[in-house]
Amino acid sequence: MGKTLKSIQDLRDKQIEFYNNFKTKQGSFRVAVGMATCGLSAGSRPVYNAIIDEVSSLGLNNVKIIESGCIGTCSVEPLIEIYDDLGDKVTFIELDEVKAREIVQHYLANGDLESVSKYLYQDGQRKKYYQKQKKIALANGGIIDPENIEEYIALEGYLALGEALTNMTRQEVIDMIKNSGLKGRGGGGFPTGLKWQFAYDSPGDEKYIVCNADEGDPGAFMDRSILEGDPHVVLEAMAIAGYAIGAQKGFIYIRAEYPLAVSRLKRSINKAKELNLLGDNILGTSFNFDIELRLGSGAFVCGEETALMNSIEGNRGIPKPRPPYPAAKGLWGKPTNINNVETFANIPVIIRKGAQWFKEIGTKNSPGTKVFALGGNINNTGLVEIPIGTTVREVIFEIGGGIPDGKKFKAVQTGGPSGGCITTENLDTPIDYDTLIELGSMMGSGGMIVIDETACMVDIARFFLDFTVDESCGKCTPCRDGTKRMLEILERITEGKATMADLDKLQRLGNSIKKGSLCGLGQTAPNPVLSTLRYFHDEYVAHIEDKECPAGVCSALTKYFITDKCIGCTRCVKVCPTNAISGKVKEMHYIDQEKCIKCGACKETCPVDAIIIK
Amino acid sequence: MDLSENILTTEKLTKLSEVIDNYRDEKGALMPVLQQTQDIFGYIPKEAVDYISKELNISLAKIYGVITFYSQFKLEPTGKYLISVCLGTACYVRGAGSIIKEIEKQLKINLNETTNDHKFTLIDTRCLGACGLAPIMTINEDVYGKVKLDDINNILSKY
């Protein structure tokens, strides 16, 4: 390539050239293998290698094979998508090397789809998964080769930056983002355009753009997927933001747990510099913008913007009081604009298609889409992008395909350690920033963990609190000590040692921690407890008064029973370390609850699954 | 494992001084320098901290403050293979807790401990973001998804 782009006209010419390369030629195929972290761990590398090997040994020269990012349907990985010259695509799922070779032999070599149709993602299934989705932030994910800047440009990448630099004033860019109604997708929901305006209005020659890619909520992987599948969209958006507020330098603060995203970003930054899309005099204008990566080192609190800036400056990642807000005094005391990855991913397309186009998607108050990471006890785990205002029921039961193994839905947890639960009676709530807060949960960054009837809600609350106790930075006493006390109470409850007065204490402590903490971590840490107390009060009471865990999860409260399935084989008697089991050969056995230590050895040994936990 | 292999050899020291030179004039250099120090040595040896302190003119107190704040910085060497079991929500709901117990049982160590032969260290980790394949664990660079209790013996025996 080598040639740098000296004007927007250069870029437009290149876009046409690259698009012609990108388009599948007549009689050819384009094979995209999903190779984000999730695809790779499901085994997409051997599938990719098998396809290359088979294509070359058959001497096919009409096949282009690319490594694409996340296609979104994690539950059926490894998968490939094959585009023909009409632009139509077929998706093959749950592949291995053998199946992949068959697909090459039949479909790619002979155009025979019939013989390999058994590996196809069936239309009905696919339709259900995609019908209610709308891809904006994830538009390129799974389609382009994320390591190839030409493919990003082919699909109009960097044209928004060119347009902004050449034909729009700074204020016009900000106005367009304001008019679009885009809100922060990291969970806060603050209007993005307004944030840019504040940073623009702050006096100073030295300003910074920061991309918050410290996606720490357990169960959330939207940002990872965007960075792995479409890294240039974030770089382009950061440059646009830099132009808008008057910054020449950007930082991406990314978790070290995402090595693939880090390496793709590094390469993408270099590629963009080679083409003069980052660096000095971008596209022949007087605008300079450079981006640097900074890695986290495992501190959840660094997702909070003031803590994040402390960490970039090389300090302990401890939050600072606001105001002053980063827009006035941010990195090294200079005006700084911080947005999350998903927020940035919306920017270029808004510039290209206009604020009005964006406003027609989603709700009046919150235009656009939100990406959710659907996980837990659900059939179609994966990434979904839905217009804001879609109901929880549609996401879980239509897109997500419901709960596996015929189990019953109990709750869905959103907002991670800062959020709460949504239960059956609220399934028809449209998903929006305000509606979720009313339910005692929150939009959060987009984790959506589905919980079935086998989970104990007290245990789930304990899990999240254990997380925040570990991650509290220690600056504010209510958060540092209060969460610890709450955790102790929860542990007492799960061990059957609590009293009803403890529930009031939990509530009181929770409210004080929310009021007495400086940053988002402390202010939201009690939410999982308060939310489960609100919706699953019965379960707490059962643990305390009846000394019973209704879901059979809390081991101190569970009991092992032998049912009448027992065939009297005596195997359990032999493995029981405390001689708690008695019974005659070929007759039903009994467990002495006084002696039982709940080690589970009997249950593991039983050949007929006669032992149950209650 | 021979611990002496981790102490400042000339080769590793040269690497460290190259890293420091790269960042010498940069603002906020400490974090990337510490991260790359850990990449070189596998942990952050005391000798390296002294060296960084002198070269970057940052007090020892501040450096140790930063190291101990972030959970990924290690002041002690870990085993040859680092087993990280993801304890994100999706993995937890799908039984990551019992995966940890099973590994503890098989390796006869507790969480955050290293086996006597310095072969394995077992830790839990924050969400790895591959929730579709929960429960998930990694051993150094290798990722294992949808792990079942019965798989663990096989997985460990590969190392």
Residue B61 CA to residue A62 CA, distance in Å, equals 62
Is residue A1 pLDDT above 70, yes or no? no
Q: What angle do CA A553, A467, A228 make, to 5 degrees?
A: 105
% of chain B at pLDDT higher than 70: 95
pLDDT of residue B95: 83
Partners of residue A338 on adjacent β-strands: A210
Nearest CA in chain A to B130: A38
Is residue A137 pLDDT above 90, yes or no? yes
CATH (residue range A369-452): 3.10.20.600
The verdict on a CB contact (< 8 Å) between A332 and B145 is: no
CA distances from B95 to A121, A151, A231, B125 (A): 28, 40, 33, 14
**Band of residue B92 on the pLDDT scale cut at 50, 70, 90:** confident
Contact indicator for A208, A250 with CB cutoff of 8 Å: yes
Q: Which residue has the higher pLDDT, A166 or B143?
A: A166
User: What pLDDT digit, counting tens, does each position of A75-117 carry?
Assistant: 888 999 999 999 889 999 999 999 999 999 999 999 999 999 9
Whether A51 has its CB under 8 Å from any CB of chain B: the answer is no
Nearest to A283 by CA among A165, A172, A152: A165
Residue B97: strand, helix, or coil:
helix
User: In sequence order, what are the residues at sequence separation of 6 or more whose Cβ sits closer than 8 angstroms to the Cβ of residue A460?
Assistant: A413, A451, A528, A532, B93
Which residues of A are less than 8 Å from B30 in CB distance?
Answer: 314-315
The verdict on a CB contact (< 8 Å) between A77 and B133 is: yes
Average pLDDT over residues B81-106: 89
At residue B39, φ and ψ (nearest 5 deg) are -65, -40
DSSP string, A479-546: IIIIHHHHHHHHHHHHTT---HHHHHHHHHHHHHHHHH-SSHHHHHTTHHHHHHHHH-HHHHHHHHTS
pLDDT of residue A558: 83
Shortest distance between the Cα of A304 and any Cα of chain B, in A, equals 15
Query: Is the domain defined by A149-359 classed in CATH 3.40.50.11540?
Result: yes
pLDDT of residue B77: 87
**Band of residue A578 on the pLDDT scale cut at 50, 70, 90:** confident
**Band of residue B7 on the pLDDT scale cut at 50, 70, 90:** low
Residue B8 CA to residue A155 CA, distance in Å, equals 50
Contact indicator for A416, A460 with CB cutoff of 8 Å: no
Facing residue for B132 by CB, picked from A74, A220, A455: A74
The verdict on a CB contact (< 8 Å) between B32 and A449 is: no
Facing residue for B93 by CB, picked from A297, A316, A451: A451
Type and span of the H or E element at A413: strand A409-414
Tokens of A507: 């509530």
Is residue B8 pLDDT above 70, yes or no? no
* Residues of A (72-111) whose Cβ lies below 8 Å from B: 74-75, 77
A457-545: CATH, from 1.20.1050.10, 2.40.50.140, 1.20.1440.230, 3.40.50.2300: 1.20.1440.230
Which residues of A are less than 8 Å from B87 in CB distance?
Answer: 218
Nearest CA in chain B to A256: B72
**Band of residue B3 on the pLDDT scale cut at 50, 70, 90:** very low
The crossing angle, in degrees rounded to 10, of helices A231-245 and A341-353 is 70
pLDDT of residue B4: 45
A19-125 homologous superfamily: Glutaredoxin (3.40.30.10)
Nearest CA in chain A to B33: A314
Residue A129 CA to residue A135 CA, distance in Å, equals 12
**Band of residue B141 on the pLDDT scale cut at 50, 70, 90:** confident
User: What pLDDT digit, counting tens, does each position of A517-570 carry?
Assistant: 999 999 999 999 999 999 999 999 999 999 999 998 888 888 889 999 999 999
User: What pLDDT digit, counting tens, does each position of A171-221 carry?
Assistant: 999 999 999 999 999 888 999 999 999 999 999 999 999 999 999 888 888
pLDDT of residue A356: 98
CA distances from A594 to A569, A584, A590 (A): 23, 20, 12
Q: What's the predicted TM-score (pTM) here?
A: 0.91
Nearest to A521 by CA among A417, A414, A415: A417
Look up residue A186 and give its amino acid. Answer: G
Residue A267 CA to residue A278 CA, distance in Å, equals 13
CA distances from B137 to A166, A278, B111 (A): 49, 37, 14
Residue A358 CA to residue A353 CA, distance in Å, equals 8
Report the length, in residues, of chain B.
Answer: 159
* Residues of A (24-43) whose Cβ lies below 8 Å from B: 37-38, 40-42
Is residue A439 pLDDT above 70, yes or no? yes
Which residues of B are less than 8 Å from A142 in CB distance?
Answer: none
pLDDT of residue A305: 95
Q: Which residue has the tokens 């609590």?
A: A498
Which residues of A are less than 8 Å from B92 in CB distance?
Answer: 218, 463
Q: Which residue has the higher pLDDT, B122 or A127?
A: B122
% of chain A at pLDDT higher than 70: 100
Calculated CA dihedral for residues A117, A121, A123, A127, nearest 10 degrees: -170
For chain A, give the mean pLDDT.
Answer: 94
Average pLDDT over residues A155-163: 97
Nearest to A343 by CA among A247, A209, A142: A209
At residue B111, φ and ψ (nearest 5 deg) are -55, 145
CA distances from A65 to A54, A89, A423 (A): 12, 14, 44
Facing residue for A375 by CB, picked from B31, B125, B131: B131
Residue A143: burial class (beta carbons within 10 Å; 0-12, 13-18, 19+): buried
Nearest CA in chain A to B68: A316
Is residue B139 pLDDT above 80, yes or no? yes
Is residue A425 pLDDT above 60, yes or no? yes
Is residue A577 pLDDT above 90, yes or no? no
- To test the contact with chain A by mutation, choose from B19, B78, B89, B141 the residue with the greatest count of A C-beta atoms within 10 A, namely B89
CATH (residue range A559-613): 3.30.70.20
Task: Confirm whether A369-452 and A559-613 share one CATH topology.
Answer: no
> Which residues in B have their CB inside 8 Å of a CB on A?
27-32, 34-35, 65-66, 69-73, 87-90, 92-94, 125-134, 136, 143-145
A42-46, long-range: CB < 8 A, 24+ apart: A42/A74, A42/A77, A42/A78, A42/B133, A42/B145, A43/A77, A43/A78, A43/A96, A44/A77, A44/A78, A44/A79, A46/A96, A46/A97
Which residues of B are less than 8 Å from A75 in CB distance?
Answer: 132
Shortest distance between the Cα of B29 and any Cα of chain A, in A, equals 6
Average pLDDT over residues A27-43: 89
User: What pLDDT digit, counting tens, does each position of A486-515 carry?
Assistant: 999 999 999 999 999 999 999 999 999 999
**A573-608 in b/e burial notation, b at 16+ Cβ within 10 A?**
beebeeebbebeeeeebebeeeebebeebbbeebee
Type and span of the H or E element at A376: strand A369-376
**Band of residue B1 on the pLDDT scale cut at 50, 70, 90:** very low
User: What pLDDT digit, counting tens, does each position of A342-372 carry?
Assistant: 999 999 999 999 999 999 999 999 999 999 9
Average pLDDT over residues A569-578: 89
Residue A421 CA to residue A450 CA, distance in Å, equals 9
Q: Domain ranges in chain A? A: 19-125, 149-359, 369-452, 457-545, 559-613
Which residues of A are less than 8 Å from B145 in CB distance?
Answer: 38, 41-42
Is residue B38 pLDDT above 90, yes or no? yes
pLDDT of residue B78: 86
The verdict on a CB contact (< 8 Å) between B32 and A295 is: yes
pLDDT of residue B134: 84
Which range has highest mean pLDDT (A239-243, A321-325, A413-417)?
A239-243
pLDDT of residue A605: 87
